[in-house]
């Protein structure tokens, strides 16, 4: 039970690991329409003004604003219709003093004009003349050159996760290919003499592998690529051989350890044998998730996650998610939380960070967080829960009625 002597607070444990993580981020070029949710590898700067010509934001008439000053229903301004701007073409007409040029929303405001009168505020007098019944200010109903973004301005920073509107914004600038960080390959090894693949019928005493499926999906959800190495019996040589293979072919190795102390210690020994510096953290002041092992072998991060499904998810979230974000240059780790009112007391021991599963129940305008208690060996408590509530290291617990942050699964 080595772990008992070296437990660190979760944040400290992650810092120890982080100090040994590689800093270089690997990149690749992808077309714009494959870039959703990818992370920008470079700071993007606008190659052009947007728009690069003054555009009308209304259907109406391009005019000189001064020609409409003082116009009203009772005393309209009369303007001569000098022509029309066709959509998608250069305005090859000039709006002179006392003139109006017919224009549609999105049309190019012609030279001479500095505003657009909405068609609703005009009336045709005859084929060549309109009356304007409300004045417009200079610039009104016009999108100025570079009003959206100017050439040379910062568009999006390195590390930004690309959203749908970002892709639209890049399309607008003609950026149809871009440098993003590479998706990471994450090696996943399950271990345990009692564990069989999900498609097998377990014999008495055996159980099906749960964590490979869960961890693979967590990796996908984080935007990376799971590589499954199957189930390895609790034998040092076999575990080491598989872990070595995983280390050589992936960017990050997760070993979902057996639950007994002896197999947990073996996990640490195997990870320690993979390279330098080896195991950095063995045991964390955390429940569930105490027997977590964190390490680095020759630049590859290594994780020995506890076998219990709940512990496995909590420790993935606390340690693997920020590591993946770090390795892929993410500006921030996305974390979806909601505020909810706790329905009952959660006891906890000071000096340990606790994560308690909760179900969310709507109560009028407010959400309630109902603790779902259950042994961390259970998987179905996780399925009945919607998220986790954290009890801080130095807190003795949380009281019913408190507002808490719920980290959504």
Nearer to its own copies, 156 or 243 (CB): 156
Site string for its own copies, 12-41 (x = CB under 8 A): --------------------xx--xx----
Binding positions for its own copies, 334-353, rule CB under 8 A: 336-339
Question: How many chain residues bind its own copies (CB under 8 A)?
Answer: 94
Question: Judged by CB under 8 A, which of 115, 186, 313, 369 binds its own copies?
Answer: 313
Q: In residues, how long is the chain?
A: 409
Q: Is 23 left (phi over 0), alpha (psi -120 to 50) or beta?
A: alpha
We find the least distance from the C-beta atom of residue 275 to its own copies, in angstroms, to be: 29
Instruction: Confirm if 88 and 213 have CB atoms less than 8 A apart.
Output: no
Q: How far apart are CA 368 and CA 17, in angstroms?
A: 35
DSSP, collapsed to helix, strand or coil, labels residue 197 as: coil
Sign of CA dihedral 255, 251, 296, 18: negative
Would you say 82 or 280 has its CB closer to its own copies? 82
Region of 132-140, 261-269, 275-283, 393-401 interacting with its own copies (CB under 8 A): 261-269
Which parts of 105-124 interact with its own copies (CB under 8 A)? Answer: 105-108, 119
Q: Are residues 80 and 96 in contact, defined by beta-carbon separation less than 8 angstroms? A: no
Cβ nearer to its own copies, comparing 174 with 401: 174
Q: Which is nearer to its own copies, 97 or 153 (CB)?
A: 153
| Span interacting with its own copies, options 19-27, 123-131, 320-328, 331-339, rule CB under 8 A | 331-339
DSSP code of 316?
I
DSSP string, 210-256: -HHHHHHHHHHHTT-EEEEEEEE-S-HHHHHHHHHHHHHHSSEEEEE
Pairing of strands 366-371, 353-363: antiparallel
Collect all residues with Cβ–Cβ distance below 8 Å to 312 and sequence separation of at least 6: 211, 214, 215, 256, 305, 306
CB of 208 to its own copies, least distance (A): 5
Largest distance between two CA atoms of the chain = 95
Q: Which of residues 158-197 bind its own copies (CB under 8 A)?
A: 163-176, 192-195
Q: Which two tokens stand for residue 384?
A: 């009945």
For the CB of residue 404, give the shortest distance to its own copies in the complex, in Å. 12
Q: Which of 11, 97, 241, 261 binds its own copies (CB under 8 A)?
A: 261
Which of the ranges 83-91, 94-102, 235-243, 265-273 carries the binding residues for its own copies, by CB under 8 A? 83-91
Angle CA 377–301–316, to nearest 5: 30
Which residue lies nearer to its own copies by CB, 110 or 295? 110
Buried b (16+ CB within 10 A) or exposed e, 144-157: ebbebbeeeeebbe
Helix (H, G, I), strand (E, B) or coil at 17: helix
Residues 38-67, mask of contacts with its own copies (x by CB under 8 A): ------------xxxx-x-x-x--------
Nearest residue (CB) to its own copies, 53 versus 78: 53
Complex with its own copies: residue 50 or 65, whichever CB lies closer: 50
First and final CA of the chain: distance in angstroms?
Answer: 31
**Nearest distance from residue 126's CB to its own copies, in Å?**
21
Residue ranges in 200-229 that form contacts with its own copies under rule CB under 8 A:
200-218, 220-221, 228
Question: What are the backbone angles phi and psi of residue 12, rounded to the nearest 5°?
Answer: -70, -40
Q: Do the beta carbons of residue 214 and residue 312 sit within 8 Å? A: yes
232 touches 239 (CB < 8 A): yes
- Binding of its own copies at residue 309 (CB under 8 A)? yes
Interface with its own copies in residues 350-389 (CB under 8 A): 375, 377-380, 382-383
Beta carbon of residue 3, minimum distance to its own copies (angstroms, whole number): 13
Q: Which is nearer to its own copies, 264 or 326 (CB)?
A: 264
| 294 touches 280 (CB < 8 A) | yes
* Closer residue to its own copies in complex, CB, 21/32: 32
We find the least distance from the C-beta atom of residue 361 to its own copies, in angstroms, to be: 14
Residue 36 or residue 45: which is nearer to its own copies going by CB? 36
Task: Report the candidate in 308, 272, 273 with the shortest Cα–Cα distance to residue 291.
Answer: 308
């Amino acid at each position: 039970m080595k772990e008992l002597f070296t437990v660190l607070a979760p944040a400290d444990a992650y810092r120890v690991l982080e100090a040994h993580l590689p800093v270089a981020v690997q990149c690749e070029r992808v077309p714009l329409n494959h870039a959703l949710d990818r992370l920008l590898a470079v700071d993007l700067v606008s190659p052009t003004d947007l728009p690069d010509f003054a555009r009308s934001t209304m259907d109406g008439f391009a005019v000189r604003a001064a020609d409409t000053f003082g116009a009203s229903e009772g005393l309209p301004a009369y303007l001569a219709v000098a022509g029309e701007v066709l959509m998608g073409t250069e305005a090859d007409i000039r709006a002179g003093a006392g003139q109006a040029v017919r224009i549609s929303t999105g049309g190019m405001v012609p030279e001479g004009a500095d505003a657009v009168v909405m068609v609703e505020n005009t009336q045709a007098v005859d084929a060549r003349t309109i009356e304007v019944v409300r004045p417009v200010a200079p610039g009104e109903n016009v999108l100025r050159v570079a009003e959206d973004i100017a050439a040379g301005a910062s568009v999006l920073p390195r590390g930004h996760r690309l959203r749908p509107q970002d892709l639209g914004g890049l399309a607008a600038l003609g950026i149809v290919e871009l440098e993003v960080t590479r998706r990471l390959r994450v090696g996943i090894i399950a271990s345990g003499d009692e564990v069989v693949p999900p498609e097998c019928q377990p014999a008495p005493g055996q159980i099906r592998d749960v964590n490979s499926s869960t961890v693979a999906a967590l990796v996908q959800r984080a935007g990376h690529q799971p590589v499954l190495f199957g189930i390895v019996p609790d034998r040092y040589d076999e575990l080491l051989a598989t872990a070595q293979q995983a280390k050589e072919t992936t960017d990050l190795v997760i070993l979902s350890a057996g639950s007994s102390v002896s197999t947990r210690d073996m996990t640490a020994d195997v990870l320690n044998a993979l390279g330098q510096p080896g195991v950095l953290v063995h045991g964390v002041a955390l429940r569930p998730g105490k027997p977590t092992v964190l390490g680095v072998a020759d630049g590859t991060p290594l994780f020995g996650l506890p076998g219990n499904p709940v512990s496995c998810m909590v420790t993935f979230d606390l340690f693997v998610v920020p590591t993946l974000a770090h390795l892929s240059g993410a500006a921030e780790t996305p974390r979806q939380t909601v505020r909810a009112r706790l329905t009952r007391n959660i006891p906890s021991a000071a000096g340990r960070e606790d994560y308690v599963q909760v179900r969310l129940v709507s109560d009028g305008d407010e959400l309630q967080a109902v603790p779902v208690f259950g042994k961390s060996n259970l998987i179905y408590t996780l399925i009945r829960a919607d998220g986790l509530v954290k009890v801080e290291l130095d807190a003795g617990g949380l009281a019913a009625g408190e507002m808490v942050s719920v980290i959504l699964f």
